[in-house]
Amino acid sequence: MLNYMRSEAYRLIRDKKIWILFFVFGVLLSSVVGVLAYFQNYAENFPYGNTKFALSNIYASLTMLLYVAGGFVLLLNDGDKTHVYKNSIAFGIKRSTVLLGKLLVQAIIAVFSCLVLAGFYAFLCDRFLLHSDVGEFNVYWNAIFSGSLGLLAALTGVYMFMMIADTMSLAMIYSVAAIVVVPTMLNLLGRRIVILNIISKCFPYIAMAEYSNHTLTFEVTGRDTFTTLLTGFCWLTGFLIFGMILFKRKEIR
């Protein structure tokens, strides 16, 4: 497993896409803060040039990060249309090693990237924007912590679908359906049928959306954090097991 992970790390470090992604997000986050700071300094009564508003763009929209997590995996695995891992399997590397090894390396890079970019954004807000001093940084970091397992679940889900599905298009359809569409539909129907509403809250997408709503009024409770983490953990585990079972018998061409 370690050798496999080392080879994947070797590959990904040489992949320009990761560095471009870092650069693009860095520029994006800097631009957001830059624009807010500019208008704070030069526009009369500009109400948004403060840390609370800037950070709320993240903690009040955690579900947006699910799309980013999914997109991140798609980007990293975009070049593997020819199933390079078939060489690894022909060499005798176990399928579970291939599946988990790739995932672990990508998850580590994703977590590292997330923390670096989140820290970078918090630093820029702290440095260039008006401090709101209402505990917004605590809410921000708690939100990132609470949403971490949900993000990892989304990353794992998209990855597993990519490894199992016959085409990229199918993988994307399954991913969007499982992570976004199904919980959204259940949530909508849940407004009429209570049981469906309860079921929808078991999906990370809805749990994170509810968490985000509570952050706006600074009413996040321990229960919210626990629920978000638990749904993330359950779906992460579920996607892992589901992926392992199906990949074990997949015909590799």
| Paired residues of 130 in beta bridges | 50
Q: Are 150 and 228 in contact (CB under 8 A)?
A: yes
**Which C-beta is closer to other proteins: that of 89 or that of 244?**
89
Q: Are 70 and 205 in contact (CB under 8 A)?
A: no
**Which C-beta is closer to other proteins: that of 104 or that of 196?**
104
**Tokens 């809410």 map to which residue?**
139
Does 106 engage in binding with other proteins (CB under 8 A)? no
Report the nearest approach of other proteins to the CB of residue 124 (Å): 32
**Tokens 């291939």 map to which residue?**
98
Chain positions 8 to 67 lying near other proteins, rule: CB under 8 A, are: 10-11, 14-16
**Which C-beta is closer to other proteins: that of 101 or that of 150?**
101
Q: Which stretch binds other proteins (CB under 8 A): 32-40, 60-68, 88-96, 189-197?
A: 88-96
Phi, psi of 114 (to 5 degrees): -60, -45
Does 84 engage in binding with other proteins (CB under 8 A)? yes
CA dist., res. 125 & res. 184, Å (int)? 32
- For residue 192, give the DSSP letter: T
Q: CB neighbours of 187 closer than 8 A, spacing ≥ 6?
A: 196, 197, 200, 206
Does 210 engage in binding with other proteins (CB under 8 A)? no
**Which C-beta is closer to other proteins: that of 171 or that of 208?**
171
Does 87 engage in binding with other proteins (CB under 8 A)? yes
- Binds other proteins (CB under 8 A): choice among 74, 93, 108, 189: 93
Q: Are 111 and 18 in contact (CB under 8 A)?
A: no
Chain residues that interact with other proteins, rule: CB under 8 A: 3-4, 6-7, 10-11, 14-16, 79-80, 82-84, 86-94, 249, 251-253
